[in-house]
Structure 1
Amino acid sequence: MASVTPGPDRPVRYGRGMLQGLRAGRARSVRAAPDLAAVLGPFLVWWVAVVTVTTVSLASIPVVLDASYDHLRPHPVWVQSLVRWDSNYYLTIAERGYVSPEMPAFFPLYPLLVRLVASTGLAYPVAGILVSAVATVVALTHLRRLAVDHFGPAETLLHQRAVLLFLAGPSAFFLAAVYTESVFCALTFAAFHHARRQHWGRACALLALLTASRSPAVVVVLAVLVEYLTRPGARGHRVDRRVLWFLLTPAGLLAYLGYGARELGDPLAFLHAYDHGWAYQVFDPNVPATVLHVLGEWAALFGADGGPDVQNLFGHGLGPFAWLFCLVVTAASWRRQPAGFTALSLGTLVFVALNSNLQAVNRYVIVLFPVLFAVTGWRHLREESRFGLLLLASGAVMALGAVLFTHAEWVG
């Protein structure tokens, strides 16, 4: 068909393919609007609640921080309260790059996003909080879409409950902080959503970004590959050419390796960083021994003189409990879930237990939406009162963790 140049007296004429594309785009926008509308309200309530709790707690009981937090002094209390621990590394990388040997342990995607937003003139801590907030909304939108696919379009109550339970999780406050959890969840949920719809090109493009965000991305890639291999209509040993999309998935990691080789003189700098900053984290493939050892230490916290220490129970006890809880739920629900879901849960639990401790597991398992779906669909929670009690109890634990986090206590 001959091309037509639009002008003041000449209307634009569209071919059939172009019209179909425009209609499909409008249809996608219409479908996306209810998902976004359904999660914005809960997100705003949750975000305001987290910021209020952290701000009030820090304003009521000020905390003395070391020199690494000096960059926070010009900023208001509500900003300061969401920048702790690893946040300093992410902000330093965003502003100045990898300036010390332990920093390559933190992958570059989140700092790059913070740097991009800060280039508009926002302060780096505020930019980090904004990136986390937007990524959390994206994560919630795709979590709801996954819930619709998993539970069926008619189960609207379960869709919304999945969103609420995610926001009320014991470690969900990390999603509001200057941490990479929000971005990791957003990319993981979006990749799985597209994989469930068999949009393999989109899924793999998202996975390519994910591999530049954190090392457990390798588990997500393998879990989505399981989704591909067990997809409806897969026949025996026949390989669909769409599997070639998976060649994209290591792109983010390969780019980081190239940066390490060129700028840091070590393509494996992200692994060698642990020799400088976290010597207590040692690779140990004996996962059962690690778990048993950590659970023994966890049990000892209850027998401490003077009673259990709340700080240690949260910071060093919640991780082992979360690991064990997720394992039990995964084992109990694997028959009722897609193979890729089970692969994500089991793979993540094994991966996070390979470093000889489970201290931050309560943060790493935030991404395990299959566990969330299993709990959401539990028949004993069908009653509104029981679900409300679970939501209240989990939210209270999250608020406690947020307060401890704000006061620079280790909470995962």
Structure 2
Amino acid sequence: MAQELDGGGLGGRGLGGDALEDGALDDGALAAQSAQSSGRQAQAVLDGDALGGSGLGDGALDGGALGSRGLGGDALEDGALAARSAESSGRQARAVLESDGRVRSAGRRPRRGLGDGDRAALRAWGATRLGMIVLAWMSAWVFATAATTPGPWLARWDRWDEGIFTSIAQHWYFAAGTDPRHVAFFPGFPVAMWLTHLLVRNWVAAGLVVSAVGSAVATVALGRLAAQEVEGAWVRRGRDRNPLDAVLRLPRMRGANNADNHAALKRAEVPDSEPASVPQASPRLPLTVRARAKRAGANAALFFTLAPAAVFLAAGYSESLFAAFAFSAWAAARRDRWVSAVVLAAAASAVRVNGLFLAAAIALEFVLAGRARRRWRQAPLLVVPALPVAAYVLYLHHDTGDWFAWQHAQAAGWFRTFRNPKYAWDQTWRAAFGASQAGHTAWVFQLELLAVVVGLGLTALLLLKRRWPEALYVALSLLALGTTTWFMSVPRTMLLWWPLWTMLGAWATRRPAVRTLYLCCVAPVMAGVALLFLSGQWAG
């Protein structure tokens, strides 16, 4: 006998007589079948949106948390979902359902290597790197004021912070003749340049190589996070329909015990406020969902590499290396790999002070995680990302006698002193629209204001979605940059807000016009910023 809900049946794997392997649900259909001694079968096919793919509501199914009831005769017991060990392999199939409906499967290992989505993200990265080469060629001629041959190609990338990083990599911080303000820059990127210089003997080229590798890694990690945005949204739609209600809509059958089913779901329930984690191994999703996830990853990668300040992902700046560590750390935290997460976050903290904001987000993710995702004995790991910052502060104090040498260098070199946000906004507004700066410099300050508005909107959206750790990360970044003399480097910091790119990528998958608008409106801004930087006019 078969019961079908909403016409969503697409067949499925047997539950009871067969093993439910790895928590995978087959392409939008949940089939339950058990053969008794009499040979009679009962089968229920539930709506692919209600009980499909990778989510079964706000509960956790753990190797049979809801029981392994037989489905005999004509009786399909309401709410009974069977889970059995795969006897041939001796492995128990486990599925832990997170608060957003995503299923983490512990019965199989995640696939290693690059998938189709990763390759799509890398294609977007590669295409935009070629675009940067074209812009570097253009910058040498578009702004030429004399009939002379432009200088070496690498010289166009030797701008501002790149020269500081090269100086630190060559001479460290306190060699004779070095600028004391260089201590405002953390040592992670110069160390990576020094190591690369062992193979690439030009310092500028070494910085470009570090940034190229870092941005490639960051793009792949971002593409994966964006793909999971689509998968999570698909599962949430099924969860919101309440799969328990779908089961209880079945006609009453012999032997049904709704009280037992409700109690089982209650015991397995995960609070709505608990943050979601990413599947350890992707559950089986409908082909259409997987295709949308792949497109979301490619969209996010393209948007990230065409962001207004994307030239700083190609230049010898620290954003790309930080993004590689930070995005990978967050992906590890979402997979409950806390050791990997804190080690990667520590590496990010060695590159930029933003690593402390990342550490705060990971710590909040850990605290809000359910018992199925973390153990309190792992809590001491959360201090690991702060260790590089503490070590750097101790190092500076040893040589300068100043516990606040980093902050004082920021104030001396870039006028970053603590101010209230309104003062910073007013100062930036005057620089942008008060006719106090040259035209292209005023335009740069306008971008700073726009980036702050985007950051505020992103923070509000994350709070509405109850994505507390990511909201904390973005909010701390805004607080650090919004309480100085004026807004500075906010578009560059916007590169590091992975929720912005993942949500945009998922949105563009649902609304293709978003991609078109982005390419038409944002890519030209990126080209303008790149031309200013490469021609030496970015900072006036």
Length, aligned pairs only:
369
Partner of 1:244: 380
For 1:229 and 1:141, the matched residues in 2 are separated by 27
- Is 1:291 matched up with 2:370? no
Does 2:498 match 1:360? no
Call closer, same or farther: CA 1:96–1:28 in 2, change over 3 Å: farther
Q: Call closer, same or farther: CA 1:29–1:375 in 2, change over 3 Å.
A: closer
Please tell me whether residue 176 in structure 1 is matched to residue 258 in structure 2.
Answer: no
Deviation at 1:227, TM superposition (A): 1.2
Give the secondary-structure state (helix, strand or coil) at the position aligned to 1:30: coil
Instruction: Name the amino acid aligned to 2:366.
Output: Y
1:12-411 matches, cutoff 5 A: 30-62=112-144, 77-98=152-173, 99-152=178-231, 154=290, 155-233=293-371, 240-278=376-414, 280-284=415-419, 286-295=420-429, 297-300=431-434, 310-336=439-465, 338-378=467-507, 382-410=510-538
Q: Gaps spanning 5+ residues in structure 2: where?
A: 1-105, 232-288
- Residue 232 to residue 295, structure 1, CA distance change in 2 (3 Å): farther
Give how far 1:175 is off. Answer: 0.3
Structure 1 residues 116-147: Cα deviation after superposition (integer angstroms, max 9, x where no partner):
11022521110000000000011011111211
Cα distance in structure 1, aligned partners of 2:305 and 2:370: 32
Q: Is residue 144–residue 160 contact of structure 1 (8 Å, CA) maintained in 2?
A: yes
Q: Which has the higher helix share?
A: 1
Decide whether the 8 Å contact of 1:79 with 1:125 is kept in 2.
Answer: yes
TM superposition shift of 1:207: 1.3
Which TM-score applies when normalising by structure 2?
A: 0.63
- Give the TM-score of the pair, scaled to structure 1: 0.81
Read off the aligned partner of 1:357 and give its amino acid letter: W
- Indicate conservation of the 8 Å contact 2:229/2:503, yes or no: no
Distance 1:362 1:119 in 2: 32
How far apart are residue 88 of structure 1 and its match?
Answer: 0.9
Rate the CA distance shift 1:108–1:156 in 2: closer, same or farther, 3 A.
Answer: same
Bigger radius of gyration: 2
Deviations 1:347-384 (A, max 9, x none): 211111122211221111111111223333447x7443
Q: Read off the aligned partner of 1:48 and give its amino acid letter.
A: L
Alpha-carbon distance between aligned partners in 2 of 1:55 and 1:343, rounded to the nearest angstrom? 40
Deviation at 1:393, TM superposition (A): 1.9
- C-alpha distance after superposition, 1:210-259 (max 9, x if no partner): 22111222111111111112224479xx9711111112111211221232
Residue-by-residue CA offset, 1:36-55 (whole Å, 9 max, x unaligned)? 42222111111111121122
The question of whether the paired residues in 2 share the 8 Å contact of 1:209 and 1:251 is answered with no
Q: Could you say what secondary structure the match of 2:295 adopts?
A: helix
* Partner deviation per Cα, 1:281-327 (whole Å, 9 max, x = no partner): 2122x2244234433543435xx8xxx96512432110111111221
How far did residue 202 of structure 1 move?
0.5
Deviation at 1:197, TM superposition (A): 0.6
Give the unaligned 5+ runs of structure 1: 1-23, 65-74
CA shift in 2, pair 1:95/1:226, >3 Å: same
Q: Which moved more, 1:396-405 or 1:92-101?
A: 92-101
2:377 counterpart letter in structure 1? R
The residue that corresponds to 1:14 in the other structure is: none
CA contact (8 A) 1:151 1:159 kept: no
Q: Distance in 2 between matches of 1:121 and 1:267?
A: 36
Check whether the contact 1:101–1:276 (CA below 8 A) recurs between aligned residues.
no
Opposite residue 83 of structure 1, the aligned amino acid is D
Taking the aligned partners of 1:27 and 1:359, their CA distance within structure 2 comes to: 44
Measured after TM superposition, the shift of residue 189 of structure 1 is 0.4
Cα deviation for residue 334 of structure 1 reads: 2.7
Letter in 2 for 1:261: H
